[in-house]
Structure 1
Amino acid sequence: MKSKVTLIAALVFLMFSEAMSQQLKERVRINGYSSFEYENMFSDEGEGDPNGSFDADLIDLVINIDVTSKLRFSTDLTWEHGAASEDDRGNVAVEYAFPEYTVKDWLKFRVGKMFVPFGIYNEIHTAKPAFLAVKEPLSTNKPQKFGADARFYPRWATGVSILGNFAIKSVDFEYHVQLSNGEQENTNPFEEDDNEEKAVAARLLVMPSQGLKVGVSTYSDKITELDGSGDDTGNRTKLFSISTHAEYTYKNAGIELEFITGKTSPSAGGDLKKSAFEGMLYYTFIDRITPYFRYEFLDPNKDVDDDQANMISLGVNSRVDDNFFVKLQYNNISSKDQNAEFSGTDYSEFQAAVVLGF
């Protein structure tokens, strides 16, 4: 008798587990991507890698859970550069984590940690299968590695967002407005704000015809000014950046352009104005091989005549299989003598990446 009860209990458990498993399959989606890279600088001087190094660049898991038909939870977990916390190597991070509630397609709400909605690349910078080059443009996305004092906008923010998409006649629109703690030095901006000011990011995308996308992005904040002891002085530095960007594809050819200008205004005066540009041309052969040309330019301080930097990149993106790519890229970097990163040293480098999306 006891064995029969045990068998029945086991069958009930298996049936329940099967039902739960099926329900999870319908509600939970797990995707992600990985990138393995190689870099070699062709000289002993410059900011590249003269040793020809391999890099376990990243693996990301993207998890989406449909809580209800209108409520979705989304998160991206990343492990970068062979992350091993015991050895203090690499980086482990929550790229974003937020619930999104949909009222209509044109009205959605998010709360949590999110990418700042700005320009072409910021929200896809970890998703290496989503763009052609080995890395996103430095001039517009990581200008501090190109000679600037800081980014034009922070990579992430914690706060609330309203977003959506709609159409007016034959023209499609997408908008995203975000209110957040902004960037700060003396507190964790994903936990608390160090002043009453809130940062505002906004982006509007317009698709007037098939293959054409035009956008405008802005970011504004008032950043706490600290004294020598790290205490709040009560003064604020204003930060404002604006970007215009466009993407156009026609048959197998494509072009993307982005121009950013930014201004930092300390309370004591002496504005710092900077600008950056990125442009790319590409063409796809046999639906697999895409050679591309990219040009980047950064002027980190418009009041200084001898600090600009630029980079020319020639590359090819090969689709080996669905969502599996091999990228090869040659970069030539040149700069003026007063550039804070390169100090007038010109150099060339080779980059390669094996990229998988799943």
Structure 2
Amino acid sequence: MRKIIGLAVVATIASSSYASDVKTNVYGYIEGYVEQVEETPQRSGGTSTAEGDVSKKANAHEFDTPNVNLMVKSRKGDKYSSYLNLNASGETVQTRNAWVEMKLKQDLLKFRIGKLYRPFGLYNERLDAVPTYIGIEPPELFDGDHLLLTRTTNMLLHGEMDLSGNTLRYSLTTGNEERKSGEVPVGGDIRYTHVGMDSVLLVGTSFYFSNTAAPTKKVGEGSPDGGVVNWMKEDDYKVLGLYLEYTRNAFKFQTAYYEANHDATRDGSKLQSIGTEKLNDEQIRRLCNGNMSTCADSEVNYMVKTWYVRTGYSFETSLGEVTPYIQYDFYENPETIAEKKDGGDNEAGIADDGAFTKQTLGVVFRPDSQLAIKLDASSHSQEIDGSNETYSEVRSSFSYIWSL
């Protein structure tokens, strides 16, 4: 924390010495978080030929500071800009974003390079700005346990066009990401915003082509940074999605659907290193023809699907703004396991079909425009050993926007 405060002071001093046509803003977000998860299903006692037993695991409540961000935004005249986003939620300061941008043809075409969040749907570029949106957890496609693709990239061409008071925005991206060698991954996002008398409608589509990609993590190193799971030799996947946001006065409605089609090659030696204790019979059959100890390389085609609906309504009280909200998330990935350290997912990975739903009810209280206090509760539902299992979790977030 002292490191990031020091950086903020340096940034402030530096900004005061710039030329008069350089405008610099220093600001950030701090979030405190607490979560309690009910006893969750877990699988134990599995073998290479038979599925294990399902038991309940008790979970301790968890405190965290997932967002401690310093952000520096600078602009020189109307043509050049830069952005720095540092996060000190862990033991070290991490660079979330660091990019520079130049206008090539006014707002119609801009060039950005560095490390940046890709334009992709409604949430990827704004997840760090916790106080500004309804809900606490991200949509499942941006859940760190099962990312649909990498959140960051390195180069962006983008722009916007005015259409009689409405706006068309478009972007193309590429970067290092998960490429195996010299491949060129390509992503894009197109969105149209229609502004009415008392409403705003935004519709858009996002796409991504990985070309030949490789895992970012080894088996045993935790969740992957993108869509290629740890036990693959290589993967060529494509992501396509549609999204919509409708705002009318104090009412907001959001929905999105995404699917990722994978054409991959499993690495038999990596699969042999995965223990069978938390695998079910279907996973063992699918991954290694029923016996993990004799795994060989194999080709696999599979699809990951996810969609969500989020809606909320804001109203003013004498104490501040209150926004009740509801959310519904669906996620399905047949090529997953429960063990997170091996690249799996302890939500979808314990289900028979790799699918689960999550229903959330919550409220945001904003006593001030810079402060958001959020409380919500979720219920997970999935099929385990042929029966429907549910468990719940309660979480709270206290977040603050600061500026110098």
Q: Does 1:300 align with 2:325?
A: no
The equivalent of 2:137 in structure 1 is 135
User: What is aligned with 1:121?
Assistant: 123
Q: Find the residue that maps to 2:88 and give its secondary structure.
A: strand
In 2, the alpha carbon distance for the partners of 1:331 and 1:241 equals 27
Contact 2:102 2:110 in 1 (8 A): yes
Residue of structure 2 equivalent to 1:10: none
Within 5 Å, which residues of 2 pair with 1:1-358? 21=17, 23=19, 27-43=23-39, 50-80=59-89, 83-85=90-92, 92-103=93-104, 104-137=106-139, 139-142=140-143, 145=145, 150-158=146-154, 160-184=155-179, 194-210=180-196, 211-224=200-213, 237-266=235-264, 269-286=299-316, 288-301=321-334, 306-337=353-384, 345-358=389-402
Tell me which amino acid in the other structure corresponds to 2:400: L
Q: Residue 7 of structure 1 corresponds to which residue in structure 2?
A: none
Per-residue CA deviations over 1:33-76 (Å, capped at 9, x if unaligned) read 11101111233657998322221222111111224431111110
Distance change >3 Å, CA 26–CA 195, structure 1 → 2: closer
User: Matched residue of 1:140: which SS?
Assistant: helix
Residues 71 and 26 of structure 1, relative CA distance in 2, 3 Å threshold: closer
Shift of 1:357: 1.2
Extract structure 1 runs of 4+ deviating beyond 6 A.
46-49
Residues 97 and 167 of structure 1: CA distance in aligned 2, closer, same or farther (over 3 Å):
same
Report how far residue 22 of structure 1 moved: 7.6
Question: In 2, Cα distance between the equivalents of 1:251 and 1:20?
Answer: 39
Q: State how far apart, in whole Å, the 2-side matches of 1:344 and 1:67 are.
A: 58
Amino acid at match of 1:279: V
1:306 Cα deviation from its structure 2 partner: 2.8
**Alpha carbons 2:178, 2:214 under 8 Å: kept:** no
Cα pair 1:161 1:178 within 8 Å, conserved: yes
Note if contact 1:307-1:337 (Cα within 8 Å) is conserved in structure 2: no
Larger Rg: 1
CA 1:20–1:266 in 2, change beyond 3 Å: closer, same or farther?
closer
Amino acid at match of 2:124: N
* Contact preservation (8 Å) 1:140, 1:278: no
TM-score, scaled relative to structure 1: 0.78
Distance 1:18 1:311 in 2: 46
Counterpart contact for 1:307–1:338, Cα < 8 Å: no
TM-score (norm 2): 0.69
2: distance between equivalents of 1:312 and 1:162? 37
Q: Is the 8 A contact 2:22 2:74 kept in 1?
A: no
Identity, in percent, stands at: 21
Go from structure 1 to structure 2 and tell me whether the alpha carbon gap of 1:269 and 1:50 turns closer, same or farther (over 3 Å shift): closer
1:266 aligns to what SS in structure 2?
strand
Give the 3 Å change call, closer, same or farther, for CA 84–48 of structure 1 in structure 2. farther
Q: State whether residues 22 and 77 of structure 2, in contact with CA within 8 Å, keep that contact through their aligned partners in structure 1.
A: no
TM-aligned CA distance change 1:67 to 1:208, over 3 Å = closer
Q: CA deviation at 1:344?
A: 6.5
Instruction: Report the 3-state secondary structure (helix = DSSP H, G, I; strand = E; otherwise coil) of the residue aligned with 1:346.
Output: strand
Q: Cα 1:48–1:207, aligned 2, differ >3 Å: closer, same or farther?
A: farther
- Using a 3 Å threshold, how does the CA distance of structure 1 residues 20 and 57 change in structure 2: closer, same or farther? closer
Give the drift of 1:244: 0.3
| 3-state secondary structure, aligned to 1:124 | coil
Q: 1:79 to 1:49 in 2, by over 3 A?
A: farther
Q: How far, CA to CA, are the matches of 1:96 and 1:48 in structure 2? A: 37
Q: Structure 2: which 5+ runs fail to align?
A: 1-12, 43-55, 220-232, 266-297, 336-350
DSSP 3-state at the match of 1:129: helix
AA aligned opposite 1:325: A
Q: CA deviation at 1:161?
A: 1.1
- Separation in 1, partners of 2:322, 2:237: 41
**CA apart distance, 1:124:** 1.2
Q: Is the 8 A contact 2:30 2:400 kept in 1?
A: yes
Provide the rounded CA distance (Å) in 2 between the counterparts of 1:176 and 1:49.
45
Query: Is the 8 Å Cα contact of residues 39 and 58 (structure 2) preserved in structure 1?
Result: no
Deviations 1:190-245 (A, max 9, x none): xxxx412111110001013331000100011123458xx99xxxx85211001100
How far has the Cα of 1:292 moved from its partner? Answer: 0.2
Q: Is the partner of 2:315 in helix, strand or coil?
A: coil
Q: Is the 8 A contact 1:128 1:135 kept in 2?
A: no
**What are the ranges of 5 or more consecutive residues in structure 1 without an aligned counterpart?**
1-16, 86-91, 185-193
Q: What secondary structure is seen at the aligned counterpart in 1 of 2:206?
A: strand
The answer to whether the 8 A contact 1:289-1:318 is kept is yes
**Contact 1:41/1:48, CA 8 A, preserved across alignment:** no
